[in-house]
Amino acid sequence: MTDMSSGAPAPGAAGQPVHTMEMRDLVAALRAGLRDFFRAPLFGLAIGGVFAAIGAVIVLSLTIWDMPWLIYPFAIGFPLVGPFAAVGLYEVSRRLAAGERPSWRGVFAVIWAQRRREVSWMAFVMLFVFWVWMYQVRLLIALCLGLISFASFEQFVAVVFTTPQGLLFLALGHVIGAVLAMVLFSITVFSIPLLLERDIDIVTAMIASVKAVLQSPFVMFGWGVFVTLGVIAASIPLFLGLVVVLPVFGHATWHLYRRAMPQ
């Protein structure tokens, strides 16, 4: 096991077999995530609250900058960086499973220690995909709506939903966005827990994560869709729902990882 409070990883086994999961594993992981949240609610509320506050600031900033049309792609794409915010939640679940009592000092020591480990590089991977998502939105607007003018967010919505060009923009944007989301989901869903717990590099962790997704494609696709819809719904009221939804999903993902790759 990793001594994560000091940031020093213990020997790991990156090449271990990946277990095939069933829908009951998702249900069990979600129940375990809810249980961890209620056992240590302050950690989840604090981490989820920070994430929700950042999202709200982004939305308000876009409104102040008179770019409200960017709110929708930000609301969809912002959760893509969510797994990195779950580092502390994974540590809380790990300690609870080990029969330990999480402490603020211990959990934040683990989060701080990641600056010297491979998890920090994973942040760049997620942010890169996020920016690809944002720039493809801009590109699609230029290609599909470049000849149509709109001076306000209301006019933009009207153009998108009432014109052939707008409907094409919606269709292409959601298809491309779904592909990017699935790629990012596949390489991160288990790679961050692996990097936290085992002595492996980022490439090995991403390969192992993709391997686990391909081992149980329907189950993992279902989990990805469920998490995406849950996070989007929680983001609608100025990201306030993320205060609860994000920590529950974070804890659940840790337990799902343990079921897919038990030690």
pLDDT tens digits, 22-44: 999 999 999 999 999 999 999 99
Contacts (Cβ under 8 Å, ≥6 apart) of 142: none
Q: How many domains does the chain have?
A: 1
Q: Does 219 fall in a domain?
A: yes
Burial of 11 (0-12, 13-18, 19+ CB in 10 A): exposed
Please tell me the least confidently modeled range out of 29-43, 74-88, 166-180, 198-212: 74-88
Cα separation values, 150 from 69, 83, 146, Å? 10, 35, 10
Q: Does 1 fall in a domain?
A: no
Q: Does 58 fall in a domain?
A: yes
Q: Does 67 fall in a domain?
A: yes
User: What pTM, to 2 d.p., does this model score?
Assistant: 0.78
Range of the domain at 178: 23-260
Q: Does 3 fall in a domain?
A: no
Count the Cβ atoms, other than its own, within 10 Å of residue 245. 25
Mean pLDDT of 47-72: 70
How far is the C-alpha of 193 from the C-alpha of 198, rounded, in Å? 8
DSSP state of 198: S
Cα separation values, 11 from 2, 60, 196, 200, 260, Å? 8, 45, 12, 8, 19
The type of residue at 100 is E
Counting residues of the chain whose pLDDT is more than 70, the rounded percentage is 81
Confidence of residue 79 (pLDDT cuts 50, 70, 90): low
Q: Does 27 fall in a domain?
A: yes
Cα–chain center distance at 262: 22
Contacts (Cβ under 8 Å, ≥6 apart) of 99: none
Mean pLDDT of 233-257: 87
Q: Does 17 fall in a domain?
A: no
Cα–chain center distance at 231: 9
Contacts (Cβ under 8 Å, ≥6 apart) of 14: 194, 198, 200, 204, 205, 208
Q: Does 72 fall in a domain?
A: yes
Contacts (Cβ under 8 Å, ≥6 apart) of 10: 1, 2, 3, 198, 199
Confidence of residue 65 (pLDDT cuts 50, 70, 90): low
Instruction: Round to the nearest angstrom and report the end-to-end CA distance of the chain.
Output: 9
Backbone φ/ψ region at 239: left (φ over 0), alpha (ψ -120 to 50), beta: left
Asked if the model's pLDDT at residue 66 lies above 70, the reply is no
User: What pLDDT is attached to residue 35?
Assistant: 96
Burial of 142 (0-12, 13-18, 19+ CB in 10 A): exposed
Cα–chain center distance at 34: 17
User: What pLDDT is attached to residue 61?
Assistant: 65
Helical spans, DSSP H, in the chain: 23-39, 41-64, 71-77, 82-85, 87-97, 104-113, 119-145, 153-162, 164-188, 191-197, 202-215, 217-235, 242-260
pLDDT digits (tens, 9 = 90+) for 234-244: 877 777 888 89
Asked if the model's pLDDT at residue 186 lies above 70, the reply is yes
List 3's β-bridge partners, or say none.
Answer: 8
